[in-house]
Amino acid sequence: MTTLKLSVLACAAIVTGLMSCGKEELPAAPPNPSVTTTDSIVIPFSSNSYTLFSLKDSSIVPNSDSVSSDWDIGIRFVDIIVNSHASGPGSGGVITQTGIFDNYILAPSNGYAFDTTSTNLAIDAGLTTGWYNYNDATHAFNPKAGLFFVIRTADNHYAKLEITAVDYAGYVSPTAPPTTLIYHFRYSYQSDGSGNLQ
């Protein structure tokens, strides 16, 4: 009888040990990877309206939805807005970041700039201080190398975005303005709400 009790106790100890070991050895769930997308937006060269874009859906949002949280950024010529404060009802914000886009892996939870007024935007579009370089001879402008944007979206998700080029379409000569601008960019969007941008 004593032997039987000892055997039962020994088995119970082994099972308990295996269960606790199993719990300790389970690896933490890997972070949800962000999705990197390469895209472009075609916008009018001259317009009073912003072309609105959703990073979550990779789509242009109609201006009739400008008072919603359906869009994250808007572009008009060289001006870029984010959906919050003076520009929209969302929770958007932006950090202008220098460095290597691919090496930036974690968006912070705070420190974001907002569009405080219609002329004081979070993304600097000044001719000499802004996000682009301007060529006086050709009237072309191109994004500055090593500069990208960390974005908190309108619905509190995180992304990083790099404008890679801006092309003219319908361009005849330096004395006649083009009809269209094409913004080329790539971005990584995190759908799980974390700041992981790997």
pLDDT for residue 175 is more than 90: no
- Is the CB of residue 56 less than 8 Å from the CB of residue 191? yes
Q: What angle do CA 134, 36, 46 make, to 5 degrees?
A: 35
pLDDT for residue 13 is more than 80: no
> Residue 18: what pLDDT?
44
Which among 81, 93, 76 has a CA at the least distance from the CA of 159?
93
pLDDT band at 137 (very low <50, low <70, confident <90, very high): confident
Encode pLDDT of 83-100 as tens digits: 999 999 999 999 999 999
Q: What angle do CA 136, 138, 140 make, to 5 degrees?
A: 85
Alpha carbon of 29 to those of 26, 32, 33, 160: distances in Å? 9, 9, 12, 23
| Averaged pLDDT of the chain | 87
